[in-house]
């Protein structure tokens, strides 16, 4: 049963920006296939691919027009099948992105649902009783349809919410309950989409906005009920496939809903935020920051309860970044990024590396929004492979590119960092290999806190016979610790091992093996 997740390190690919093989300026599926050996060599044995379905791209593909068709700009179904076969040949796993909460308003279900005359899809979305009925507590689009009613959206205005019913029905004239046949018809349609891809042999899904299905469901009870039924289908028919949620609530997602893993997202004042992204103006209170003065306890207060309740059921996923957040260099220098990678690759859970983070690609603040990206656009620029035209991303002319490549003088590239001792790339690669070669560092092995003090550095934790010391602050720190002849497995920066103390220099990391 989904044993492969225990030893997986994922690479996330935003396909439009990865590698363009037909010189149209947009990355494509053959481009992903061409780079499988690169990804495998980095140490990643699984890929999460952002949506590649047919779409008008008002939200970069999260506005799905046809769940069973590949967007022509990425290639054909043949290209997809070839990619999957090449991945499996290399013993790599593929997760597609499942968007269950909404479709594009150009989806044929919605085109039918908008019609005045009742039809098979009239209840697939959430429409009020008539157009004059628009309670302000819901995000409703008014006066756009032939049908006499307003429809609810899940994200952008172009993304009508699919109808999984309401847990508390407040307006019975138009709200279906979560256990109504109409709501469960949507669940069946979702399962049908999943079976389509699982039957092709994919290894699971990253699930977009997994908590957003049933409305008026604050405790997520009915939403969890749907996911458990999806999980049951998977356990029965696709026991090796996995579901990873965009939720950031391990209790509700992993324990209550049956997800195999849940992303630790950057939410205001949660543990991930306290670790890496807790910046307002010039004040950066993250634990990992330049001149770091964060508080590890703020991370632990959030992380430990979620970890403790979910660790026997699934995994929390640490990610270097994703397509929705500013990349790490917006918050910290390469030195600190390397420490953050060391931390992520020695913590429990399933690690995710966002394309380009292995070379610390920049977050661009100077770009006009692309395909609904807005502030996220700066994290979605083309991959920087080498020093050639467009950094090797595409042969197209510059003005045709999906987004501009980073042409700043010191723009990092794979070519510039591969084989360079101490580069962000080599640091991450070494750490991934150490994780994969040592079962005690694997995704589900024991984790224990050794030293964590309010407003103090370092943070020290044990994984089996390994102990990790991480000190992003500028100051040298000494902790009582009997190393007893332990071997240094990996280090960044400096340290001194005494008889009963370990001294860890500022901006340093040490991994001991007993
Ligand atoms: C979360 C995705 O990661 C994001 O990119 C997208 O815009 C929204 N969900 C809506 O689907």
- The answer to whether the CB of 231 falls within 8 A of the CB of 239 is no
Query: 308 forms bridges with which residues in the sheet?
Result: none
Average pLDDT over residues 227-238: 98
pLDDT at 95: 98
Cβ contacts of 457 within 8 Å, gap of 6 or more: 292, 296, 471, 472, 473, 475, 477
The answer on pLDDT for 338 being more than 70 is yes
Ligand 1 pocket test target in 59, 63, 246, 323 with most atoms within 8 Å of CB: 59
Average pLDDT over residues 183-200: 98
Ligand 1 pocket test target in 16, 49, 62 with most atoms within 8 Å of CB: 62
pLDDT at 1: 55
Which DSSP category does 338 fall into? Answer: H
| Distance in Å, CA 208 to ligand 1 centroid | 6
Average pLDDT over residues 385-405: 98
pLDDT-based confidence at residue 504 (cuts at 50, 70, 90): very high
Read off the pTM: 0.98
Q: Which residue CA neighbors atom 2 of ligand 1 most closely?
A: 208
Q: Which residue CA neighbors atom 11 of ligand 1 most closely?
A: 62
- The answer to whether the CB of 194 falls within 8 A of the CB of 235 is no
**CATH (residue range 446-513):** 2.60.40.1180
Specify the long-range contacts of residues 478-483, CB closer than 8 Å, at least 24 apart: 478/502, 478/503, 478/504, 479/451, 479/504, 481/450, 481/451, 483/512
The answer on pLDDT for 18 being more than 90 is yes
- Which atom of ligand 1 lies closest to the CA of 99? 11
**Is residue 187 classed as helix, strand or coil in its secondary structure?**
helix
Domain positions in the chain: 3-101+183-437, 102-161, 446-513
| Distance in Å, CA 220 to ligand 1 centroid | 19
Average pLDDT over residues 497-512: 98
Q: Which residue CA neighbors atom 1 of ligand 1 most closely?
A: 208
User: What average pLDDT does the chain have?
Assistant: 98
pLDDT at 280: 86
Average pLDDT over residues 56-69: 98
| Distance in Å, CA 327 to ligand 1 centroid | 16
Show the tokens assigned to 430: 């070494």
| Distance in Å, CA 32 to ligand 1 centroid | 21
Q: Given CA atoms 101, 107, 113, 115 in this order, what sign does their dihedral have? A: positive
Average pLDDT over residues 334-348: 98
- Which atom of ligand 1 lies closest to the CA of 63? 11
Judge residue 240's burial from the number of C-beta atoms within 10 Å of its C-beta, 0-12 exposed, 13-18 middle, 19 or more buried: middle
Average pLDDT over residues 317-337: 98
| Distance in Å, CA 344 to ligand 1 centroid | 23
Tens of pLDDT, residues 446-483: 999 999 999 999 999 999 999 999 999 999 999 999 99
**Is residue 274 classed as helix, strand or coil in its secondary structure?**
helix
Peptide bond preceding 460: is omega within 30 degrees of 0, i.e. cis? Answer: no
The answer on pLDDT for 112 being more than 90 is yes
- Which atom of ligand 1 lies closest to the CA of 154? 10
Tens of pLDDT, residues 273-308: 999 999 988 899 999 999 999 999 999 999 999 999
| Distance in Å, CA 433 to ligand 1 centroid | 31
Which DSSP category does 238 fall into? Answer: -
pLDDT at 281: 86
| Distance in Å, CA 353 to ligand 1 centroid | 18
Average pLDDT over residues 415-431: 98
The answer on pLDDT for 319 being more than 70 is yes
- The answer to whether the CB of 368 falls within 8 A of the CB of 381 is no
**Is residue 284 classed as helix, strand or coil in its secondary structure?**
strand
| Distance in Å, CA 323 to ligand 1 centroid | 9
Pocket of ligand 1 (CB under 6 A): 59, 62, 99, 155, 208-209, 246, 323-324
Cα 160 from Cα 157, distance rounded (Å): 7
Alpha-carbon distance values, 317 to 54, 211, 404 (Å): 28, 17, 30
Tens of pLDDT, residues 354-383: 999 999 999 999 999 999 999 999 999 999
Show the tokens assigned to 126: 């959430």
Cα 40 from Cα 14, distance rounded (Å): 17
Give residue for tokens 């939720």: 247
pLDDT-based confidence at residue 492 (cuts at 50, 70, 90): very high
Average pLDDT over residues 309-325: 98
Peptide bond preceding 458: is omega within 30 degrees of 0, i.e. cis? Answer: yes
pLDDT at 2: 74
CATH of 102-161 among 3.90.400.10, 3.90.70.10, 3.40.50.150, 3.30.70.360? 3.90.400.10
Angle at 316 between CA 221 and CA 511, to 5 degrees: 160
Average pLDDT over residues 232-244: 98
Average pLDDT over residues 11-33: 99
- Half-sphere exposure (CA, 13 Å, Cβ side) for 381? 28
What is the CATH architecture of 3-101+183-437? Alpha-Beta Barrel (3.20)
Query: 96 forms bridges with which residues in the sheet?
Result: 205
């Amino acid at each position: 049963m989904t044993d492969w997740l225990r030893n997986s390190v994922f690479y996330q690919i935003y396909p439009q920006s990865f590698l363009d093989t037909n010189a149209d300026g947009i990355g494509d599926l053959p481009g992903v296939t061409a780079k499988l050996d690169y990804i495998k060599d980095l140490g990643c044995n699984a890929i999460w691919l952002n949506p590649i379905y047919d779409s008008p791209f008002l939200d970069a593909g999260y506005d799905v027009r046809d769940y069973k068709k590949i967007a022509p700009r990425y290639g054909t179904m043949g290209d997809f099948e070839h990619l999957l076969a090449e991945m499996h040949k290399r013993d790599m796993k593929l997760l597609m992105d499942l968007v269950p909460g909404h479709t594009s308003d150009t989806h044929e279900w919605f085109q039918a649902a908008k019609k005045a005359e009742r039809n098979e899809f009239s209840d697939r979305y959430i429409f009020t009783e008539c157009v004059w009925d628009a309670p302000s507590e819901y995000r409703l689009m008014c006066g756009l349809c032939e049908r006499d009613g307003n429809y609810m959206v899940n994200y952008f205005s172009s993304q009508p919410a699919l109808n999984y019913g309401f847990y508390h029905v407040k307006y019975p004239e138009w709200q279906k309950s979560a256990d109504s046949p109409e709501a469960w018809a949507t669940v069946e349609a979702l399962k049908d989409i999943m079976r389509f891809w699982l039957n092709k042999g994919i290894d699971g899904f990253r699930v977009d906005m997994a908590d957003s299905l049933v409305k008026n469901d604050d405790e997520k009870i009915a939403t969890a009920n749907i996911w458990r039924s999806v999980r049951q289908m998977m356990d029965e028919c696709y026991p090796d496939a996995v579901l990873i949620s965009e939720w950031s609530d391990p209790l509700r997602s992993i324990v209550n809903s049956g997800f195999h893993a849940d992303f630790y997202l950057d939410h205001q004042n949660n543990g991930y935020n306290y670790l890496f992204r807790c910046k307002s103006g010039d004040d950066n209170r993250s634990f990992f920051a330049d001149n770091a003065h964060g508080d590890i306890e703020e991370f632990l207060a959030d992380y430990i309860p979620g970890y403790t309740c979910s660790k026997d059921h699934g995994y929390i996923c640490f990610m270097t970044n994703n397509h929705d957040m500013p990349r790490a260099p917006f918050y910290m220098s390469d030195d600190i990024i390397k420490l953050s990678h060391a931390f992520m690759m020695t913590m429990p859970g399933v690690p995710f590396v966002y394309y380009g983070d292995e070379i610390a690609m920049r977050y661009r603040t100077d770009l006009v929004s692309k395909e609904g990206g807005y502030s996220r656009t700066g994290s979605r620029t083309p991959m920087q492979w080498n020093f050639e035209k467009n950094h090797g991303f595409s042969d197209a002319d510059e003005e045709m590119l999906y987004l501009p490549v980073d042409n700043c003088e010191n723009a990092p590239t794979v070519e510039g960092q591969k084989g360079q001792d101490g580069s962000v790339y080599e640091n991450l690669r070494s750490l991934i290999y150490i994780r994969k070669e040592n079962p005690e560092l694997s995704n589900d092995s024991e984790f224990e806190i050794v030293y964590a003090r309010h407003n103090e550095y370092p943070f020290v934790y044990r994984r089996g016979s390994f102990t990790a010391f991480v000190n992003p602050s500028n100051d040298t720190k000494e902790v009582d610790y009997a190393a007893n002849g332990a071997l240094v497995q990996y280090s960044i920066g400096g340290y001194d091992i005494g008889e009963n103390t370990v001294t860890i220099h500022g901006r340093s990391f040490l991994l001991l093996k007993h």
